[in-house]
């Protein structure tokens, strides 16, 4: 991070390519997206699913296309992940750093943009943009403002996957340990078992921010439709449309690290800062 900051401040490169392990690549992509506002050049993260000691490694192709993109005047000045589009060594996808997810434990084409088209793809050395116009702009990108970097992330933030039979004690621990925020990964539209709700209420009374996301990954959360959702909403659980659970976790840690006012954090959580929320989900995007 310090090195990236250094590069940014000196404005030397035309773009940077960051090589990264694939397991936590999406977390890093999101973290960089939130922490760097108005980056002066494209920041590309890439890696490989087959290690580079194998003749069949995808490392070379991914690195080649990442450099090609980072150095291109056509490239967008934001954080992206560039990785294999298919099993073939024929094209790479350019994913926005706040919509990307590792979806397969081993395949080369593991990274997918969820809930909308990826930013674009690179095939035979050409960059082709695909993202819908309405999703393209990044709100937090302020015109004519200089780059802004923050390295503050709140550590006491949790990510809890809900399951039938979950024990409220898990949340009790977080309250006792002084957690400032929790992202819950609920079922369906954003639901949890009723027996968890009193503990959630207690957590919110203890100044904790609880954000609801969905295990379905695809689709929006909606807390007004069913009883469970309505009770959560009443308790003060907030939700942020179709933000992905891991991205919500990073975003919450970022907001809590940089804003003191809880209300501001809650408000910003629901805003689309770095393209983490899809404006409109199209029919063709899910199959």
Count of alpha carbons within 13 Å of 161, Cβ hemisphere only?
Answer: 6
Tell me: does residue 34 bind other proteins (CB under 8 A).
Answer: no
Task: Tell me which of 7, 19, 77, 89 binds other proteins, using CB under 8 A.
Answer: 89
Give residues with Cβ within 8 angstroms of 156, minimum separation 6.
177, 178, 179, 180, 181
Tell me: does residue 19 bind other proteins (CB under 8 A).
Answer: no
**3-class state of residue 167 by DSSP:** coil
SS (H, E, C) 112-147: EECCCCCCEEEECCEEEECCCHHHCCCCCCCCCCCC
Nearest approach, Cβ of 34 to other proteins (angstroms)?
32
Tell me: does residue 60 bind other proteins (CB under 8 A).
Answer: yes
Tell me: does residue 201 bind other proteins (CB under 8 A).
Answer: no
Element (H, E) at 97: none
Tell me: does residue 121 bind other proteins (CB under 8 A).
Answer: no
Give residues with Cβ within 8 angstroms of 53, minimum separation 6.
none
Task: Tell me which of 20, 50, 156, 266 binds other proteins, using CB under 8 A.
Answer: 50
Nearest approach, Cβ of 53 to other proteins (angstroms)?
5
Task: Tell me which of 87, 195, 206, 271 binds other proteins, using CB under 8 A.
Answer: 87
Phi, psi (degrees; rounded to nearest 5) at 157: -130, 140
Tell me: does residue 107 bind other proteins (CB under 8 A).
Answer: yes
Tell me: does residue 111 bind other proteins (CB under 8 A).
Answer: no
User: Could you list the residues that contact other proteins (CB under 8 A)?
Assistant: 49-50, 52-57, 60-61, 86-90, 105-108
């Amino acid at each position: 991070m310090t090195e990236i900051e250094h590069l940014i401040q000196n404005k030397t490169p035309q773009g940077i390519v960051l090589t990264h392990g694939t397991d936590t690549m999406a977390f890093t992509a999101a973290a960089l997206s939130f922490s760097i506002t108005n980056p002066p050049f494209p920041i590309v993260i890439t890696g490989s699913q087959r290690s580079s000691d194998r003749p069949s490694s995808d490392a070379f192709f991914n690195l080649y296309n990442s450099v090609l993109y980072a150095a291109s005047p056509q490239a967008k000045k934001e954080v992206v992940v560039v990785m294999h589009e298919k099993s073939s060594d024929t094209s790479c996808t350019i994913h926005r750093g706040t919509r990307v997810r590792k979806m397969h434990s081993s395949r080369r084409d593991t990274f997918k943009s969820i809930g909308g088209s990826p930013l674009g793809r690179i095939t035979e050395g050409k960059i082709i943009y695909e993202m819908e116009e309405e999703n393209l702009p990044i709100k937090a990108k302020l015109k004519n403002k200089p780059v802004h970097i923050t390295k503050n992330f709140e550590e006491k933030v949790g990510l809890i996957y809900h399951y039938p039979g979950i024990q409220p004690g898990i949340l009790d621990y977080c309250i006792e340990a002084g957690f400032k925020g929790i992202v819950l990964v609920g079922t369906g539209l954003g639901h949890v078992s009723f027996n968890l709700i009193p503990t959630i209420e207690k957590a919110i009374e203890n100044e904790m921010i609880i954000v609801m996301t969905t295990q379905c990954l695809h689709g929006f959360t909606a807390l007004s439709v069913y009883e469970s959702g309505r009770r959560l909403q009443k308790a003060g659980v907030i939700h942020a449309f179709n933000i992905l659970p891991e991205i919500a976790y990073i975003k919450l840690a970022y907001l809590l690290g940089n804003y003191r006012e809880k209300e501001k954090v809650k408000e910003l959580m629901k805003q689309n800062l770095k393209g983490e929320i899809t404006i409109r989900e199209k029919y063709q995007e899910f199959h």
